[in-house]
Structure 1
Amino acid sequence: MLLAIDVGNTRIKGAVFENDTILEQFIFLKKDFKKNIENILKKFQSVAFLTVASVGSLDKNDFLGFGERLKVHFISHEDSFPFINLYETPKTLGMDRMVLAAGAVLQFPEQNRLVIDAGTCITYDFVDENDNYLGGAISPGLRLRYEALHNFTARLPLLELDSPKSIIGNSTSQSIHSGVVNGAINEIDGFINDYKQHYSKFTIILTGGDAEFLAKRLKNTIFANSNFLLESLSHLFQYKIKND
């Protein structure tokens, strides 16, 4: 069994895999991670491998403490990936973006792929049909947009994510919801439409914590999977075993 962990900017997400099947998944705060992982390993005593992708600040040594019970591997730029990285600054490419690109290549072979991860940030990553990673874009996620409006103005309130009642906000709260939500939706649809002008056919994968909220509001046809990064970690782990 494999325990796959994604250390994000704010939370830790993970799943226990039996081959390609998720047996259990979980989300918890960084401060609680040791206790939660201990509980998972007690429940799934057949877990033999732990693979970690991290963009957060958690110390690697905290994970290495589990090394006596299972084999721990941190995804790094030195690993083998199933694509050619043509990013101009390849060492600065976030590990989450690399894992997503790898998952897109392994799950959707021989086609153009655009992966959109709607989390703390909204990231766009494009891999062409020849498995060349070309790059993408990074913009603020929904929560960051709400927080920026509150933190960098004197009077705008901090709101929780909600669907705008109309594109025309008839109050300050509704204007914020319209600006944040409709702004993000039009941004994503706009990026997709721009890609369509250059690539006649490609698969669009939408993932991340806000994927389900955004998916039903987009005009373009997408493949929505909030677990795509965890699944990609599992596929990349199997790829590593086959190619080591």
Structure 2
Amino acid sequence: MVLLIDVGNTNIVLGVYENNKYVTSWRISTDAKKTSDEYSIQTMQLFRNAKLNPDNIEGVIISSVVPNIMYSLEHMIRKCFKKEPIVVGPGVRTGINIKYDNPKEVGADRIVNAVAVHEVYKKSAIIIDFGTATTFCALAQNGNYLGGSICPGIRISSDALFEKAAKLPRVELENPGHVICKTTISSMQSGIIYGYIGQVEYIVKKMKQEMISLGEDEPIVIATGGLANLIASETDAIDKVDSNLTLKGLNILFQKNKE
């Protein structure tokens, strides 16, 4: 079995693959203040609840956009699994060619998603990851990572509205079903959700135009992340939601680098 760890700004996703097949995954809060002992207790409890034996983990790979949490996580892995983790970053074989001006600036999560799409779908693609930030990545069919866009995530936008407007409440992120709404809460939900859908559709449209002008076929649009289904259900701009895209990419990278 392989343990896959994707560290985001809000959540850490831990996944287990066996023989290149998904077994299970868990989502816990990202907390840089936790010690390696605290992460060890939490991780071992997850394994016990799932009736998985930690001794069967043959290797561990980590993708992280939170540098100050890595010390605790790496020590947890050495303590619990007696393994030295592969950390996605410079020196890791990916099979894709990053065309950024400075490739080191590309977040590990974006690289992992691009690897998954290149290996699994083998097409020109636009990858949208609905996380703390929403990222749009353009991937050529030959594996060239062309670049992309980064926007505030839906929750960040919603929280900013609540924090900066004195009379507006915090609202659940759910579709009100109408654009013209008759309560403050549903009006906020309408503006947040449909406004974000409009943003997604416009950026996808512009990225497709630029990719086609570079000689690519019309790209497939793949979404992942916690709120991908909420947005995808209201727009034709997204072709497929792949909730396990990052875990797939981490497993692929582990297989490429395990020796």
Q: TM-score, normalised by structure 1?
A: 0.91
Map of 1:78 onto structure 2 = 91
Map of 1:15 onto structure 2 = 15
**What are the Cα deviations for residues 149-203 of structure 1, in whole angstroms up to 9, with x where unaligned?**
0112222211111112311232221221111100111111222222333424212
| 1:38 equivalenced with 2:49 (yes/no) | no
* Corresponding residue SS for 2:92: coil
Q: Distance in 2 between matches of 1:146 and 1:121?
A: 12
Instruction: Report matched runs for 1:72-151 at 5 Å.
Output: 72-109=85-122, 111-151=123-163
| 1:201 equivalenced with 2:213 (yes/no) | no
Map of 2:3 onto structure 1 = 3
Q: Is the 8 A contact 1:41 1:47 kept in 2?
A: no
Q: Distance in 2 between matches of 1:195 and 1:92?
A: 20
**CA displacement at 1:122 relative to structure 2:** 0.9
**What are the Cα deviations for residues 20-51 of structure 1, in whole angstroms up to 9, with x where unaligned?**
21111111123463223223555233112111
Moved >4 Å (runs of 4+) = none
Q: Is the 8 A contact 2:223 2:238 kept in 1?
A: no
Map of 1:52 onto structure 2 = 62
More displaced, 217-226 or 229-238? 217-226
Give RMSD over aligned pairs. Answer: 1.8
Instruction: Report matched runs for 1:153-164 at 5 Å.
Output: 153-164=165-176
Q: Is the 8 A contact 1:12 1:33 kept in 2?
A: no
Q: Give the AA of the match of 2:120.
A: Q
Q: Give the AA of the match of 2:40.
A: K
Q: Give the AA of the match of 2:176.
A: P
Map of 2:73 onto structure 1 = 62
**CA displacement at 1:213 relative to structure 2:** 1.5
More displaced, 188-197 or 19-28? 188-197
Q: Unaligned stretches of 5+ in structure 1?
A: none
Instruction: Report matched runs for 1:146-225 at 5 Å.
Output: 146-198=158-210, 199=212, 200-225=217-242
**CA displacement at 1:5 relative to structure 2:** 0.5
Q: Distance in 1 between matches of 2:185 and 2:90?
A: 43
Q: Give the AA of the match of 2:191.
A: G
**CA displacement at 1:221 relative to structure 2:** 4.5
Sequence identity percentage: 28
* Corresponding residue SS for 2:112: helix
Q: TM-score, normalised by structure 2?
A: 0.86
Structure 1 residues 74 and 33, CA gap change in structure 2 (3 angstroms): same
Q: Is the 8 A contact 1:64 1:72 kept in 2?
A: no
Q: Is the 8 A contact 2:86 2:254 kept in 1?
A: no
**What are the Cα deviations for residues 85-141 of structure 1, in whole angstroms up to 9, with x where unaligned?**
1112322211111111111111122x2111100111110011112221111011111
